[in-house]
């Protein structure tokens, strides 16, 4: 995934969380519970964002390492992943 796509997914998640919170507050009539939910969803979104960025960094470093080990080969991580999955089935 590209950085922009990851940001778009995370923004969509957070926006959906805000909408759910607003609906919950309207039904319950309590602001506190909605605010707690927003805080929890924001925390979850922050963690997901860090995980996605970390995963992307690992992917890029792994690709660089594989390319250094095999300079004449084209490395496709998705292809390697699916080949491993087929072997393990």
Q: In sequence order, what are the residues at sequence separation of 6 or more whose Cβ sits closer than 8 angstroms to the Cβ of residue 31?
A: 25
| Model confidence, pTM | 0.56
If we measure between CA atoms, which residue out of 65, 43, 64, 46 comes closest to residue 54? 46
> What pLDDT shows up at residue 16?
78
pLDDT in tens, 57-74: 998 898 888 888 888 877
More confident residue, 25 or 86: 86
Q: Is the pLDDT of residue 30 over 60?
A: no
What single string gives the DSSP state of each residue in 55-88? Answer: HHHHHHHHHHHHHHH-TTSPP-HHHHHHHHHHHH
């Amino acid at each position: 995934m590209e950085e922009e796509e990851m940001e778009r997914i995370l923004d969509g998640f957070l926006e959906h969380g805000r909408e759910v919170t607003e609906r919950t507050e309207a039904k319950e009539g309590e602001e506190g519970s909605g605010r707690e939910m927003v805080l929890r969803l924001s925390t979850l979104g922050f963690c997901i964002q860090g995980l996605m960025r970390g995963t992307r960094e690992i992917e890029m470093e792994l690709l660089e390492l594989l390319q250094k080990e095999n300079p004449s080969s084209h490395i496709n991580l998705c292809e390697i992943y699916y080949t491993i999955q087929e072997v393990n089935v």
